[in-house]
Amino acid sequence: MADEQPWKAPSQAHLWRPYAQMQLLPPPVKAVRTEGSRIHLDDGRVLVDGIASWWTAAHGYNHPHILAAMHKQLDTMPHIMFGGLTHDPAIILSEKLVKIAPRGLNRVFFTDSGSVSVEVAMKMALQYWQNVGQPNKNKFICFRGSYHGDTFGAMAVSDPEDSMHKAFKSTVSHQFVLDIPSSEYSFAEFEDTLQAIAKNVAGIIVEPLVQAAEGMRFYSADTLEAIHRVAKANNILFIADEIATGFGRTGSLFACNEAGITPDIMCLGKALTGGCITLAATMTTEAIFEAFLADTQEKAFMHGPTYMANPLACSAAIASLELFQQEDRIAQAEAIETQLREDLFPLRFTEGVRDVRVKGAIGVVELDAETIDKVWFNQRFVELGVWIRPIKNVLYLMPALTISKDELSLLTNAIKQVVAEWLSGKA
């Protein structure tokens, strides 16, 4: 009976799992320990992690430098409210972020998840225009294929038709959804559209260079720079969602650096703490911050998560940023990029493979099918000793930047083997 109703299995009896149809979901494998790029299971098997726990564990699991910082903070003050109080971990972390962020991002508002950092960015943009006397600028521009989180504001600026949020498209607030321009003609059309609607637009929100949840769709730094330039020319705030792309993932510390741009607002999360504990941040320019200053409370920004600037999380993030300074993660990302190209590009010539693409420490094999049996793929990868989870029809790798060459080979070889099996009809 348990096989017929897997959601009633002992491991799932009281849990509601993410992004899954519980009635169809097989019991998950149980992790008991992590180290480096490896996940140890309760039955003794070890999996090489190809996606760094949803792209968070930039330095691998259990890095001693981060753990030592967290242990020290845990012994003194794991948490304290941020309203009316401050503490060194938040102060130090804000200073470090300002030093490494695109020039001009001088203010940091801490939150407890990436999705909330997007909510904060949107609220900041809307209230900014209210505070400067332009309340009619109250809409956002986002892009088809975009994903910015699962909360209501974030859902509103994610693709309303082709995303996991389409069940809510009649509920979330309507925004302008455009295509990322990909040619001279489409860019001219994009520019004309922005000019026509600018008087009602508070901000444009982008995932710089990589639309991650859409299946790792890439676009060029020149396109990103052009979108930024047109937004600024039309007095529209530019919001960069670097939650997935930040901290070396695309080959630069931040994807915006590759385009040479500074957003008005930037969202950070995921790898901010090295994958050890949840923390996010919304960074802004001084011009945005100053629009909230007044002699009365009326213009103040009214937002404050309970665990905002959690000291334990801030200590982890400080240690993570120190690792980026002490160890050359960008060079490691470049080495991963080189190996991914060498290992995966031969699949380009395989019938049934639509595309193979690599950007920084991201490798993608897109299958020539609209849908695939993700349960079969997940189980086969586990059987082969790797942890890889497809998105749509895409098999992708976003491993820890510290992954060894041999471990990365295990991942790429597993993809090649499973693709061959899928094409032979074994799925």
**pLDDT tens-digit readout, 220-262:** 999 999 999 999 999 999 999 999 999 999 999 999 999 999 9
88, 94 contact by CB (below 8 A): no
DSSP E strands, 192-310: 201-206, 210-211, 217-218, 237-241, 265-268, 280-285
Instruction: Say what percent of the chain tops pLDDT 90.
Output: 88
- The one-letter amino acid code at 29 reads V
Find all residues with CB under 8 Å of 368, minimum gap 6, and list them.
351, 352, 353, 354, 393
For residue range 325-377, list pLDDT tens digits in order: 999 999 999 999 999 999 999 999 999 999 999 999 999 999 999 889 999 99
Of 49, 159, 241, 264, the catalytic one is 241
Predicted local confidence at residue 2, as pLDDT? 43
For residue range 144-195, list pLDDT tens digits in order: 999 999 999 999 999 887 777 778 888 888 999 999 999 999 999 999 999 9
Is it the case that residue 33 has pLDDT exceeding 50? yes
Lowest pLDDT segment from 11-20, 104-113, 130-139, 152-161: 11-20
**Residue 18 phi, psi (nearest 5):** -75, 145
Predicted local confidence at residue 164, as pLDDT? 77
Predicted local confidence at residue 32, as pLDDT? 98
Active site residue 42: no
User: 6-59+328-423 is classed in which CATH architecture?
Assistant: Alpha-Beta Complex (3.90)
Active site residue 405: no
Active site residue 19: yes
For residue range 46-102, list pLDDT tens digits in order: 999 999 999 999 999 999 999 999 999 999 999 999 999 999 999 999 999 999 999
pTM: 0.96
For residue 327, give the nearest of 141, 51, 54, 58 by alpha carbon. 58
Of 270, 343, 359, 396, the catalytic one is 270
Classify 397 as helix, strand or coil: strand
Active site residue 147: yes
Where is 257: in which H helix or E strand?
Answer: helix 255-259
DSSP E strands, 247-352: 265-268, 280-285
Question: How far is C-alpha 137 from the geometric centre of its chain's CA atoms?
Answer: 27
End-to-end CA, the chain: 25
Between CA 104 and CA 227 the distance in angstroms is: 19
Between CA 301 and CA 289 the distance in angstroms is: 9
Domain boundaries, the chain: 6-59+328-423, 64-326
Using only the alpha carbons of the chain, give its radius of gyration.
22
156, 140 contact by CB (below 8 A): yes
CATH code for residues 64-326: 3.40.640.10
- pLDDT confidence of 1, banded at 50, 70, 90? very low
Of 3, 19, 295, 405, the catalytic one is 19
Of 147, 159, 219, 343, the catalytic one is 147
Find the angle CA(422)-CA(424)-CA(426) to the nearest 5 degrees.
60
